[in-house]
Amino acid sequence: MSENTVNPMLKTGLEYGPILAFFVAYIKLKDQVFTLGGTEYDGFILVTAGFVPLLLLSTAILWKLTGQLSRMQAVTAVLVVVFGGLSVWLNDDRFIKMKPTLIYLLFGGALSVGLMRGKSYLRAVMEGLMPLEDEGWMILTRRVAGLFFGLAALNEIVWRFMSTETWVYFKTFGLTAAIFVFFITQAGLFKTYGIEDEGEEEQG
């Protein structure tokens, strides 16, 4: 099924809005403790409880508007429900903090399996955004798999050895910035292996 055209600003807002809302809510409630049903919950757990339905709502709206969801979006939504739900149910913030680790390991592993089979699973997801020659896709896939494994390890270090507030900043801004910087550094690869649009070639 082809993806429907959606306003890029709206799409970006739906994708990143829940994460920013989580960050803002955490900053406001991080030092507070709430008693619900006789059990005390700190601000982080309460914010997590609100983040789960908010992410599901934004994902559902994206699905409705675009007509499809990427595998990454679908898997992320499932893991947020599972790990976020466990954090709230058991009143233990470790589960939601482990979620990025599992996500990056899953996708890094999936890309690695494809590479062992001589295929680039990344190509199926991103080919419409950046047409590359076959060799370029294989190189980029190896690098992205390495990025995912590196981010998984980094997330483990941050949540296990640093404060919850540091992890929230890292999750909100650090991971996104790392991915952005990574793709900026791939400019040489895109230039070497990029395939020009046929329309642009004809105009040239």
Q: In the block, which residue shows the tokens 């990344």?
A: 122
The predicted pLDDT at position 149 comes to: 98
Residue 100 has pLDDT above 80, yes or no: yes
For the segment 89-106, the average pLDDT, to the nearest whole number, is: 95
Q: Among 187, 74, 76, which Cα is nearest to 130's?
A: 187
- Whole-prediction pTM value? 0.85
Residue 201 has pLDDT above 90, yes or no: no
Percent of the chain with pLDDT over 90: 72
The predicted pLDDT at position 153 comes to: 97
Round the CA-based radius of gyration of the chain to a whole number and report it: 19
Q: Among 98, 120, 110, which Cα is nearest to 72's?
A: 110
Residue 120, amino acid: S
The predicted pLDDT at position 203 comes to: 47
The predicted pLDDT at position 17 comes to: 92
Residue 204 has pLDDT above 50, yes or no: no
The predicted pLDDT at position 196 comes to: 72
The predicted pLDDT at position 197 comes to: 60
Cα 148 to Cα 61, 83, 98, 106, 153: the distances in Å are 27, 19, 14, 9, 9
Residue 189 has pLDDT above 80, yes or no: yes
For the segment 29-56, the average pLDDT, to the nearest whole number, is: 93
